[in-house]
Amino acid sequence: MKKIMMSVLVAGSYLMIGCGNVTEHPLADGFFIKTTTPMLENSGGTRKLFYQSPSGTQKLVWKYVDDPVLVHNGTAVFIGDWDDPDKAEGYAYFAVKENGQVIHIGKAVLTRAAQKNGAQAEEYLKRYGTGKLTAKGDIIEFQFPCGIGTNTPDLFVDLTWNEISEIVDMLMKTGKPHKDKLNGVTYLE
């Protein structure tokens, strides 16, 4: 009996260590962030993006998201931590429409910027990484930092919500599915 009680105490202790405060932060159009703050200072918390349908069904959109998550007319744009197939790990730009498929939009945004600037898309894709998102009214600014050790300045790409919606719609039709191991989510690219 003592062994059983001790096992229950140890198991309960492990559960308490892993748990912490969970708070929900509503965004807009059914999207919300669920933040977990650990009880122990040195163990990291998480910020998960969810979508809740009008019927109340909740769906995990992405497990590890950074600030900010921008939402407009049923479309969310965010930076997510992911298992980058070309690198060991990294961050990338994603978008999702309400209860739809997650779309990796970073390459499409860079390709559109290259076309606007008369440059080769392959150059942009090799040169620039993921930076940060900034909302400027109806414009979203994507910052693409240049690789370390180069003299090329960061690239800033401004897109309207309509342009982002067009990219998402195009990739919904033509994108290929990929499974992100870190988040356990399938996205289109």
Pairing of strands 177-180, 75-82: unpaired
Mean pLDDT over residues 116-122, rounded? 93
Please state, rounded to an integer, the average pLDDT across all residues of the chain: 85
Q: What DSSP string runs through 90-146?
A: EEEEEEEETTS-EEE-HHHHHHHHHHHHT--HHHHHHHB----EEEETTEEEEEEPB
In tens, the pLDDT along 144-168 reads 998 766 677 899 999 999 999 999 9
Per-residue pLDDT at 12? 40
Confidence at residue 85, expressed as pLDDT on a 0 to 100 scale: 73
| Strands 20-26, 90-97: pairing kind | unpaired
Give the Cα separation of 129 and 117 in Å (integer): 18
pLDDT tens column, 79-112: 999 887 776 568 999 999 998 999 999 999 999 9
